[in-house]
A and B are shown apart, each in its own frame.
Chain A
Amino acid sequence: MAEALISLIQKKRATIVSKWFDSTVQAYPHDTAVFLKSQKDQFANPVGSSTRQGIETLMDQLVGEMAPDAIKAGLDPIMRIRAVQSLSPARATTFIFALKQILRELFRKELQEADMARQFFDLEARIDRFALDGFDIYMGCRERVLDLKANEMRNRTFRAFKRAGLVAEGTDNEPKE
């Protein structure tokens, strides 16, 4: 366990979270990013508030148990939004890697100690875990979107028609998407 480093991080947690959030919303155009940062109402600004919440959860896990479910719960809202905002996978996930940079800069002095540096490697592996999970979730969401695109018509109209017996049994003809 990287206890010394973790307690350092916990001390500066607020700073780290705020920096991480800022770099996360840089995926958006300038004016939008400022809106995401400044509007705190979770209903007027779901993107900003989901992102903030997700980042808090991930921070908990980074210095905590790395529980798979919790990591997923932190990443899901962020990636779910990004998957429909036409952000490329790279642009959508880059914020995870930004955390490494933020920590490195914040603890530049401390990381010069060999032991600390070792602990940092450990921590980087955790961040990589986030990134891998992030990719998975992003892809899962993209697939979901494509499913919805492909099946919406079938699920609604085709099913109703079929129930009504207006579609010949056993036909494979699906409505044109």
Chain B
Amino acid sequence: MAEKQPTPKEMLDRIDYQPPHVDWMETPLDIRKGMYCYAANPKSVATLGLPNARPWNPLDADWKLPENWQQIIHEGFKERLERFRSVKVFMDICVRCGACADKCHYFIGTGDPKNMPVLRAELLRSVYRNDFTRLGKLLGKANGARPLTLDVLKEWWYYLFQCSECRRCSLFCPYGIDTAEITIFGRELLNLVGLNIDWIATPVSNCYMNGNHLGIQPHAFKDMLDFFVDDIEEKTGVKVAPKYMKKGADILFITPSGDVFADPGTYTAMGYMMLFHYLEEKYGLDVTWSTYASEGGNFGFFTSHETMKRLNAKMYAEAKRLGVKWILGGECGHMWRVINQYMDTMNGPADFLDVPVNPITGTRFESARSTKMVHITEFTADLIRNGKLDLDPARNDHLKVTYHDSCNPSRGMGLFEEPRYVINNVCKHFYEMPANTIREQTFCCGSGAGLNAGENMELRLSGGLPRANAVKHVHEKYGVNMLACVCAIDRAALPTLMDYWVPEVQVTGVHELVANALNLPGQAERTTNLRGEDLEELKAQAEGETDEG
């Protein structure tokens, strides 16, 4: 080592030392444990009749692809360029200005530069240039083109399953280039050669055959709801009576099955049941559930447009069979993007249904007049606005609530005010997270688009960091202890995320909050919330914390 003190220049050089700068195309793919999901179960792939069902392992060199996989992808690519103007335009017009580069929660959280949205798209764009543009063919790499090799395909698979199709980048793109669209398209191509993940393929197959992602058979579905009936009776003294596949009911209610089978979504499901019971007792509203259409979510959306259509078709089919007037949808994220932007186009027109009218308030949901499906927070907000609910928000007084906007209802629908209106009417203490982390700029939970498996926990926890970080901020600043959301994947994923980053904060659906505040006719004294926690104790605890603070 040199004896003399280094000059400022030398020191600066040392600081600036970085690993050698390598072009992204030259960076070899490193499939890391914890960042990817297991390969699809061949049984599920076969059930759906999707191509190349076989066991395979992403860590093996041989992915057991069909012999002519390059041709299949090339032709699939070509066909889809004709089918989707979005993809064709997005392949051509990106100027790589970098506005999207740091908008992706996976980039922010994992620090992997290939998670920059522009680069995720370039993975496909480079092959597009090579296969479909004259200049790309002519100039090759100099024009950013490269042939589709096995390594490139693997890279597609690895990074297209590290995108939760949240569309945050598309908000900032001057041309509206939507990485979700690129990912949807890319995953569709991958499915053509049998490259899917099990966390998507198996729920899709379950949903197709059994009506819901978890593969719960009709009697078990009813068993769960029956259990909720007992649970609600225990906590409120009121016996609710959900109806199943009742022909001629006013409304068919469809919600993601996750809420029927996993905590804390179960409390939200109880919330729906209490709300419907209240409306039936007070106003005679007739709402029915279905076990055939018992899934609001649609993992087919993460597979291909065709698969999405197959799963979604059950909603209208069941509504038609039962002869209801219109459909009410529960709290779910991607479900609402599918309903809002795809369902009517794919499986409509729903001319056998009425334009949704809330018979209690007389409100005509004009904005849903063609699709004929209303979001439960729109419905509840309308009820509250018209003074139709008997609410006692004091039962939520121990809560300091913040609200996580789910990606799809935000950037694929624009549902911002309704849930906030509802929360503000059932809770006294509500605090917003910082402006660049909510509403249209909301951060993903890190587990969307079928990525909420267990084996990719590191990806989920790092991708969810920007969200958790904002929650942590309001937790430290205002003492927030409850994170509300309107998405079943959120309710499944956020508790884990909070557990790791901000363990003091719990997760709830909006209608759990509603139900805790809702006074049911003929109820016993409500001493606990739906979770069975003693309200007095919670209140004392909360006051204690406030005093300390």
Chain A residues whose CB sits within 8 angstroms of the CB of B224 once the complex forms? 160, 164, 166
Size of the A side of the interface (Cβ < 8 Å), in residues, is 48
Q: CA separation between A150 and B501, bound complex, in Å? A: 17
> Do A43 and B470 touch (CB < 8 A)?
yes
> Do A152 and B18 touch (CB < 8 A)?
no
A40 at the binding interface (Cβ < 8 Å):
no
Known: A43-B434, A164-B227. A84 touches B462 (CB 8 A): yes
A165 at the binding interface (Cβ < 8 Å):
yes
Q: CA separation between A166 and B216, bound complex, in Å? A: 12
Nearest CB in chain B: distance from A72 CB, A? 15
B549 at the binding interface (Cβ < 8 Å):
no
Stretch at the interface among A4-12, A30-38, A57-65, A116-124: A30-38
> Do B263 and A160 touch (CB < 8 A)?
yes
B473 at the binding interface (Cβ < 8 Å):
yes
Chain A residues whose CB sits within 8 angstroms of the CB of B437 once the complex forms? 43
> Do B466 and A145 touch (CB < 8 A)?
no
> Do B458 and A44 touch (CB < 8 A)?
no
> Do B261 and A160 touch (CB < 8 A)?
yes
B43 at the binding interface (Cβ < 8 Å):
no
Across chains A and B, the number of contacting residue pairs, with CB separation under 8 Å, is: 124
> Do B457 and A44 touch (CB < 8 A)?
no
Which residues in window 430-457 of B have CB below 8 A to A? 434, 436-437, 454-455, 457
Interchain CB contact (< 8 A) of A166 among B33, B214, B220? B220
A73 at the binding interface (Cβ < 8 Å):
no
**Chief secondary structure at chain B's binding surface:** helix
Residue interface mask A77-119, B partner, CB < 8 A = 1: 0001100111000000000000000000100110000000000
Nearest CB in chain A: distance from B267 CB, A? 10
Nearest CB in chain A: distance from B175 CB, A? 22
Nearest CB in chain A: distance from B15 CB, A? 5
B26 at the binding interface (Cβ < 8 Å):
no
> Do A81 and B462 touch (CB < 8 A)?
yes
Chain A residues whose CB sits within 8 angstroms of the CB of B101 once the complex forms? 35
> Do A43 and B454 touch (CB < 8 A)?
no
Chain B residues whose CB sits within 8 angstroms of the CB of A35 once the complex forms? 101-102
> Do B111 and A163 touch (CB < 8 A)?
no
Nearest CB in chain A: distance from B114 CB, A? 9
> Do A164 and B223 touch (CB < 8 A)?
yes
Nearest CB in chain A: distance from B202 CB, A? 11
Chain B residues whose CB sits within 8 angstroms of the CB of A152 once the complex forms? 454, 457, 496
> Do B458 and A85 touch (CB < 8 A)?
yes
Interchain CB contact (< 8 A) of B113 among A32, A141, A150? A32
Q: Which residue numbers of B lie inside 8 Å of A, CB to CB?
A: 5-6, 11, 15, 17-19, 21, 32-35, 101-102, 107-113, 214, 220, 223-224, 227, 231, 261-263, 266, 434, 436-437, 454-455, 457-458, 461-462, 465-466, 469-470, 473, 492, 495-496, 499-501
Pick 13 A–B contacts, CB within 8 A, sort by A. Answer: A29-B111, A39-B102, A42-B473, A43-B434, A44-B108, A45-B108, A80-B500, A85-B110, A148-B457, A156-B263, A157-B261, A164-B224, A165-B227
Q: Which residue numbers of A lie inside 8 Å of B, CB to CB?
A: 19, 22-23, 26, 28-33, 35-36, 39, 41-47, 50, 80-81, 84-86, 105, 108-109, 141, 144-145, 148-150, 152-153, 155-157, 159-161, 163-166, 177
Rank and list the top 8 A-B pairs by shortest CB-CB distance, nearest first: A46-B469, A164-B227, A156-B262, A32-B111, A84-B461, A30-B18, A28-B111, A84-B458
